Amino acid sequence: MRALAGLLATMLCVSAQTPLPTVTVPADWASRDLEVRWVTYRAAIDGAKENGLADAWAKELGRVADVELLEWIALFDGWQLAGPELVRLDAPQMVRVAIWNLGNFDSHGESSAKKALLEQPGRVLGWLNTHPNAVRGPVVALRDELVLAKTTPRPHPSDLPPHDPMQVLVPWLEAPATLEQFDPTAKSEPGRKLHARYAHQVVRALGGVLAYGNADDSVITKVVALTRHGNEVVRLRAFDTLSRLPDWLVPFAALAKVVDDAEAPPDRRRLALLALSASSHPDMLDVLVRIARDPDHVARDAASARLGEVGDPVAVVPLREAATSSPELQQALTAAFDRLDRRRTDKLFARSPALASMLRRAAWQHHCREARAPATRAATVQLVLSSGTPAELEHAFAVVEAIPPNQSPLRGAEAAAVTAGVELLVKELRAALAPQRR
């Protein structure tokens, strides 16, 4: 009987697996331009209903050894799918594109690229020694790790030199006002205009911003500029890219300016509001609250929805008070209030991301000497203490305290003041919890 149960379980496990879709590139694939191959690939996977199609494409490209396109996929979409094929093919692009992904904002891309590099330590250290200019940012830690492990450098002569983000990304992020559309059914570019830029090239470079990581202010400024582009797809993808940055890098001030610009087109203001709501700036929720109260603002619905998702009960106190005398406001915010209540019931405000946000806002208001700061502080302390057990809260406190100072949307003295304010609040909260621990 036990054997039968095991057999049945195995059969069911097998039936639970979904085979990858079948992808076969045309016979003339290798003769097509790289740009044509990229457009064909993207057209096939974008919006695909088949699960695993991008994975199947990567495997097919590996089968036909299209290392050029695999490299582009790993550069602009991330390491996850194309990287393993480059490893399998022992491609000369493998090391440089894995190094490129070490700063990937997507932790899956970053960690899988690092894993691949650590599996060939001698080759990687040899490459780093050959290309010392590539040793910057997260690559420094990798090099130190390899040196510490007494790795013997074994450079592969065929490995290609590192990519320069200034060449791979910047020319495409500095898009001209007019962008051409590329015909995905073309097999070559006979009609390609000299110096033409295509919309998909700009969108691809936006993906590269996320895969490369290490986005400095100059790169983010270029992405912000693209949110004003005449091409609506580019605009949308630029805003989406900003919303996918780490929360402390989301350009809060630039986005708030668009949200408040009555002269800006409504679509830009709505998209800016949505991107802004991904920021961890301590003023972010105040913007959402202000817009949610304004029945004439084009982004009001989006602000209300996002308040329920990323807001907290302390931030919406003014809204709840205003809603008591305004049935219209109450109706507009019912879903957001319900969601906040559910999150509170489930003690989600005792978890580190929400806790960090609340403590930062209280500390920020105190630093700015706002009149409401004492009330915010008291309400925050009360909410936190009622949100979890001492053990759960202690876990969250430890995480909040471990956030590096450079992961702040503020700079200089302001960042230091808020960090110090958060530390004080944590100390106060721990003191309040002490009797419960005893």
Partner 1 sequence: MLRNFVCWPFLLLAATSQPLRLPIVLVEAKALYDEDALVPRPIAAVTAHLVADGGHIRLRVTVSAVGLGIEPVPGFAGTPDANRRTAEELDRLLAAGAMQWVTRRGAENEAGQLVAVERGELPARHIDAAGNVSATTTEASLVRRVTFESAPLPASTSCGYLLSEGVPRLCVQVDNTGDTYGLTIESMGEPAPPGHLKVRR
Give the residues lining the site for partner 1 (CB under 8 A): 1, 4-6, 8-9, 12-13, 15-20, 47-52, 55, 105, 107-108, 232-233, 235-236, 239-240, 243-245, 266-271, 273-274, 278, 298-299, 301-302, 305, 309, 342-343, 346, 348, 351-353, 356, 391-392, 394-395, 398-400, 402-404, 407
Shortest Cβ 209–partner 1 spacing (Å): 13
Q: What is the CA radius of gyration of the chain?
A: 25
Identify the three-state secondary structure at position 8. helix
Shortest Cβ 204–partner 1 spacing (Å): 16
The amino acid at 332: A
DSSP state at residue 24 = -
Q: By C-beta, is 17 or 133 nearer to partner 1?
A: 17
Shortest Cβ 160–partner 1 spacing (Å): 29
DSSP state at residue 180 = B
Tokens coding 410: 């503020």
Distance, in Å, from the CA atom of 242 to the CA atom of 228, rounded to the nearest integer, reads 13
Q: By C-beta, is 71 or 247 nearer to partner 1?
A: 247
CA torsion sign, 204 to 210 to 216 to 221? positive
Distance, in Å, from the CA atom of 255 to the CA atom of 195, rounded to the nearest integer, reads 31
Shortest Cβ 59–partner 1 spacing (Å): 12
**Bridge partner list, 286:** none
Determine phi and psi for 180, rounding to 5 degrees: -85, 155
Q: By C-beta, is 335 or 368 nearer to partner 1?
A: 335
Q: By C-beta, is 100 or 239 nearer to partner 1?
A: 239
Shortest Cβ 352–partner 1 spacing (Å): 6
DSSP state at residue 388 = S
Residues contacting 163, CB < 8 A, separation 6+: 75, 96, 97, 100
> Reduced to 3 DSSP states, what percent helix, strand and coil does the chain have, rounded to the nearest 5?
65, 0, 35
Shortest Cβ 134–partner 1 spacing (Å): 25
DSSP structure string for 205-251? HHHHHHHH----HHHHHHHHHHTT-S-HHHHHHHHHHHHTS-TTTS-
Q: By C-beta, is 320 or 344 nearer to partner 1?
A: 344
Q: By C-beta, is 49 or 193 nearer to partner 1?
A: 49
Shortest Cβ 121–partner 1 spacing (Å): 19
Q: By C-beta, is 79 or 127 nearer to partner 1?
A: 79
Shortest Cβ 215–partner 1 spacing (Å): 13
Q: How many CB atoms lie within 10 A of CB 238?
A: 27
Determine phi and psi for 198, rounding to 5 degrees: -105, 150
Shortest Cβ 132–partner 1 spacing (Å): 28
Distance, in Å, from the CA atom of 39 to the CA atom of 244, rounded to the nearest integer, reads 23
Distance, in Å, from the CA atom of 332 to the CA atom of 85, rounded to the nearest integer, reads 50
Tokens coding 21: 């879709």
Shortest Cβ 252–partner 1 spacing (Å): 16
DSSP state at residue 198 = B
Q: By C-beta, is 27 or 262 nearer to partner 1?
A: 262
**Bridge partner list, 289:** none
Q: By C-beta, is 107 or 325 nearer to partner 1?
A: 107
Q: By C-beta, is 398 or 420 nearer to partner 1?
A: 398
Shortest Cβ 432–partner 1 spacing (Å): 19
Distance, in Å, from the CA atom of 226 to the CA atom of 238, rounded to the nearest integer, reads 6
- Whether residue 199 contacts residue 234, with contact meaning beta carbons closer than 8 Å, is answered with yes
Tokens coding 77: 């979409």
Q: By C-beta, is 322 or 399 nearer to partner 1?
A: 399
